[in-house]
Structure 1
């Protein structure tokens, strides 16, 4: 794990005129919520290996949020799907959403940013209905003007399309825009290519100590460190 870097510098170039935020693992811990949901599912199925089910979601075979991972887990254990699979999916979805709560300092920070009166956009790979439910559950919906979701642009990060759509929505130039996200590869690297200024939310990256170095303009270890960067009280 990299040592905590206390933010002492502020933006010194052109002022920021819009803020773009990643959602999952930047505003709240989706990975933790999914892991908890996996444990709930396997208990319902009569097993005690929630971490193993979670590894199915991490495998990349079906996608990080696909419930086909549950189906495959059940098939590998000869658990009959009839009457159990759909119930397992419901338990998974309900528990995952129940576990969604903002990281410490997130709500206070986005409230302070909102008070600046500048555009605030969510850029996420989630589908719009999932994004709405998570933002509503976290109590953060009212702070954001719009959500750029996967179903809107049909491409996932690190493709440039989601970021370009966000710039179009704010009407700002890349150098006037600040992006806050937890993924060096999927958030920081593509934003840097487009000229968008970047804040790496290292607290949301569980594997930050093993990442290949991609230089963000700023690094924060709590969301409220952002206020020191933008000079907000």
Structure 2
């Protein structure tokens, strides 16, 4: 990669289950909360198979409705606190970000998480300084999979689609929509539960870095 004129000029990352293992953090938080309540019910199912904005609140409410004795506000606070404490990056993520940043590649994140949640997770990882743009639904008033969020991000970075790569764990949000604009979409299988994308997929941050260097 040429450090004076790297190609691609920009890389856009999804956040959850791409830069860090949110699924593992939620499993750990659910285990701890169920141990605290003394009943190992269906909290894993509720928290891993629902995806509305009130994910945790809905999951805890359903868990308590199963006859678990617990106070809702206390349980949701405990869950959020434990989840954040369990946030950890995938192996090789920081090395990847550091090398891309040093090479002059412009880095951004697009997440469907609300801004407060995004900021807490980013702070827990300590990755804020790598990114010049962090996009949440509040930033442009749209969220993935709407291609407009990618278009607005390109404009903010002042880069062209063909100069940009996007990597994420969800094919219907992070991979296919950017491809519609001419961005190279890459499936992060290491954090995904989706079937492997048959066009472009990587199995680790190190493999993605190698792919960027070949571009």
TM-score, normalising length: structure 2: 0.89
Using the TM superposition, name which of 110-119 and 158-167 deviates more: 158-167
Answer yes or no: is 1:131 the counterpart of 2:113: no
CA distance in structure 1 between the aligned counterparts of 2:165 and 2:118, rounded to whole angstroms: 21
CA contact (8 A) 2:37 2:68 kept: no
Answer yes or no: is 1:30 the counterpart of 2:22: yes
1:161 aligns with: 148
CA contact (8 A) 2:166 2:183 kept: yes
Deviations 1:104-147, CA, capped at 9 Å, x for gaps: 10000100000122321100011111111111111211111121
How far is the alpha carbon of 1:154 from its aligned partner? 3.5
Q: Secondary structure at the match of 1:95?
A: helix
Q: Secondary structure at the match of 2:89?
A: coil
CA distance in structure 1 between the aligned counterparts of 2:204 and 2:197, rounded to whole angstroms: 19
Using the TM superposition, name which of 163-172 and 151-160 deviates more: 151-160
Could you tell me which of 10, 14, 21 is aligned with 2:13? 21
How far is the alpha carbon of 1:63 from its aligned partner? 4.7
CA distance in structure 2 between the aligned counterparts of 1:54 and 1:154, rounded to whole angstroms: 31
1:71 aligns with: 61
How far is the alpha carbon of 1:86 from its aligned partner? 0.9
Deviations 1:157-181, CA, capped at 9 Å, x for gaps: 2121321221121111111111111
Could you tell me which of 186, 202, 205 is aligned with 1:220? 202
Of Structure 1 and Structure 2, the greater helix share is in 2
Using the TM superposition, name which of 33-42 and 22-31 deviates more: 33-42
Q: Secondary structure at the match of 1:180?
A: strand
Answer yes or no: is 1:178 the counterpart of 2:165: yes
CA contact (8 A) 1:149 1:162 kept: no
- What is the count of residue pairs matched by the alignment? 209
How far is the alpha carbon of 1:58 from its aligned partner? 3.3
CA contact (8 A) 2:56 2:76 kept: no
Q: Secondary structure at the match of 1:33?
A: helix
Deviations 1:89-108, CA, capped at 9 Å, x for gaps: 11101110111111110000
CA RMSD of aligned residues (A): 2.1
Could you tell me which of 165, 174, 183 is aligned with 1:196? 183
Deviations 1:54-113, CA, capped at 9 Å, x for gaps: 211234374573312211221232636xxx111111110111011111111000010000
1:44 aligns with: 36
Could you tell me which of 122, 126, 143 is aligned with 2:109? 122
How far is the alpha carbon of 1:155 from its aligned partner? 3.1
1:9 aligns with: none
Using the TM superposition, name which of 38-47 and 95-104 deviates more: 38-47
Stretches of structure 2 that go unaligned for 5 or more consecutive residues are 1-5
2:80 aligns with: 93
